[in-house]
Amino acid sequence: MATAVLQAVPVSSDADRYKYKYFIAIAVTLAATLELVDTSIVNVAIPHMMGNLGATLDEISWVSVGYIIANVIVIPMSSWFSAYFGRRRYLTGSIGLFIVASMFCGAATTLQGLVFWRVIQGIGGGALLSTAQSTLWEAFPPNEVGIGQAMFGVGVMVGPTLGPTLGGFIVDNWNWPWIFYINLPLGIIAAVLTWSYVRDSVHQERAEKVDWLGIGLLTVAVGSLQWMLERGERYDWFESPFVTALGITSLVSFVWLVLHELRTDEPVIDFHILKNRQLATGVLMGGLLGFALFGSVFVLPVFLQQLHQFTANQTGMVILPGAIASAITMAILGKRLRTIPDGRPVIIMGVLLFMVCMWQLAGLSLDSGKDDVFWPLVIRGVAMGLMFIPLNSIALAEVAPRDLAQGTGLFNVMRQLGGSVGIAVMATMLSRFTKEKKAVLTEHLSVTTPDALARIETFTRGLAARGVNPIAAKQGALAVLDRTVTAQASVLAFSRIYLISGAVLMLVLPLMLFWRTGRGRITAQADAH
């Protein structure tokens, strides 16, 4: 394979090499956090965008869908782009593209313009996850690399939670364009720090030709899959010829992509590194982690907003303590992980704590309030903190330095796709479980039973006392009863989904048997140092 090694700026000693490690960590973590915040910050502004741009709900949803599709497509290619252009130029250029796209998103006056610039924003943001993480592996000395990974992990965990909270605050106090303009000053800081302190990897090899077929197949495969996941529930999944076509296109393109990449000399994605059992198992576990994390993060706000009438800002404030708990856990663990010879017990503890959280959330009712979710969410935050860093470290333990960017790219894209699958599956199950539970409750609640008659009579009298005529009062009473049954059915559906989320993450435990060791990359580097 014809390659040319990228030359980093020479350093005279380890002290010089790691001199600016915290500036690098701040730069790439800030960039990655901005990217993740923008996946969810627009959700609370959708009603305002619809009114301002004259768009329907189906049309405005492309503001989110376009960004996510572009983002997921670029993540697995970011290693190749980083090698081709040089990590410093690629990362700084991606942040710059993200900033410019954010500016035009805020200034957009048409739906088409907004969606176009969101796609460009997603392309720029795709580099900021895996490139940032692989950068941090080299930016810190071996005995401190856990600190850098902890800083990155905080951004990964807090970003999706911070989005709705920040978005709700901005929309309530200013206007929706400011959810994009807020990226400008922060992005400029990240870009300046990146250009000033990030250097090209000494291990990275530059391809001499562009794998255009691989890029095209990857775009079609991942784009079709993500589009299918985003639209599946709306079109009743494979009952729709369109969704079926997307699924077939994604499958055929992916198989073709794998066969092509395994035979080409300079692939855009090097699937050969998945021959490493540690990495292959870790990537699969990352997908399960994304499924459980993003699925449960998606479900709870729906529960609070639909059944308890919480605003987006209130919901964000309820979720925030859990994110803080996750950040604190990762900060402590990142500093101590190098002294832990086997990270598997830490992961097991995290999985079991997550299951405890899901069990507690499954017990919520219509009478539950924010105090009832505080400790379960704190427990979930601690659980995620315990899992993220050791899982990442063990998965990458045996990856060669030159393949580190590819390994982090595959791990991150699998986590993102797992999250997309989790959200799609949870949304589908929520709708179907609610219908099933409502049917069961309705069977046991005939309008001729004494309890039902008593409720209807109470509701009717209440409405009549407000001046409603008898016929309308009776109809209103039946409607109130129907909403009550639907709400109770929803509670039962949510309860079931929480338990399923916990059960899915429990699949991580038997997968650990495929690992040869629980010794992480952080521990190995520290010992070697």
Model pLDDT, residue 256 = 93
Better-predicted residue by pLDDT, 438 or 263:
263
Share of the chain above pLDDT 90, in %: 13
With beta carbons less than 8 A apart as the criterion, state whether 362 and 483 touch.
Answer: no
Confidence of residue 13 (pLDDT cuts 50, 70, 90): very low
Cα–Cα distance, 97 to 35 (Å, whole number) = 12
Angstrom distances, CA of residue 53 to CA of 161, 183, 230, 296, 405: 27, 21, 22, 32, 40
Cα 150 from Cα 29, distance rounded (Å)? 10
Phi first, then psi, for residue 5 (nearest 5°) are: -75, 130
Check residue 353 and give its pLDDT: 94
For residue range 354-413, list pLDDT tens digits in order.
999 999 988 888 777 778 888 998 998 899 888 888 888 888 888 887 778 788 888 888
Which superfamily, per CATH, for 270-529? Answer: MFS general substrate transporter like domains (1.20.1250.20)
Nearest to 152 by CA among 276, 261, 266, 31: 31
pLDDT value of position 10: 43
What confidence category does residue 4 fall into, taking pLDDT thresholds of 50, 70 and 90?
very low
Residues making up the chain, counted from first to last: 529
Tens digits of per-residue pLDDT, 437-489?
877 777 666 555 566 556 666 656 665 666 666 666 666 666 666 677 777 88
- Tell me the C-alpha distance between 333 and 324, whole Å: 14
Neighbours of 277 (CB within 10 A): 12
Q: What is the pLDDT of residue 7?
A: 40
The whole-model pTM stands at: 0.79
Burial category of 104 from C-beta neighbours within 10 Å (exposed 0-12, middle 13-18, buried 19 and up): middle
Each residue of 194-237: pLDDT tens digit? Answer: 998 888 776 666 666 778 888 888 889 888 887 888 777 777 78
Quick one: pLDDT band at residue 9, thresholds 50, 70, 90? very low
pLDDT score, position 342: 83
Q: Which has more pLDDT, 89 or 295?
A: 89
What's the CA gap between 268 and 410, in Å, rounded? 12
Domain ranges of the chain: 13-208, 210-265, 270-529
Contact 404, 351 (CB under 8 A): no
Of residues 1 and 157, the one with the higher pLDDT is 157
CATH code matching the domain that covers 13-208, chosen among 3.50.50.60, 2.40.50.140, 1.20.1250.20, 3.40.50.170: 1.20.1250.20
Q: Which of 32, 132, 499, 510 is nearest to 285 (CA)?
A: 510
Two domains, one topology: 13-208 and 270-529: yes
Q: Are 44 and 171 in contact (CB under 8 A)?
A: yes
What pLDDT does residue 156 have? Answer: 72
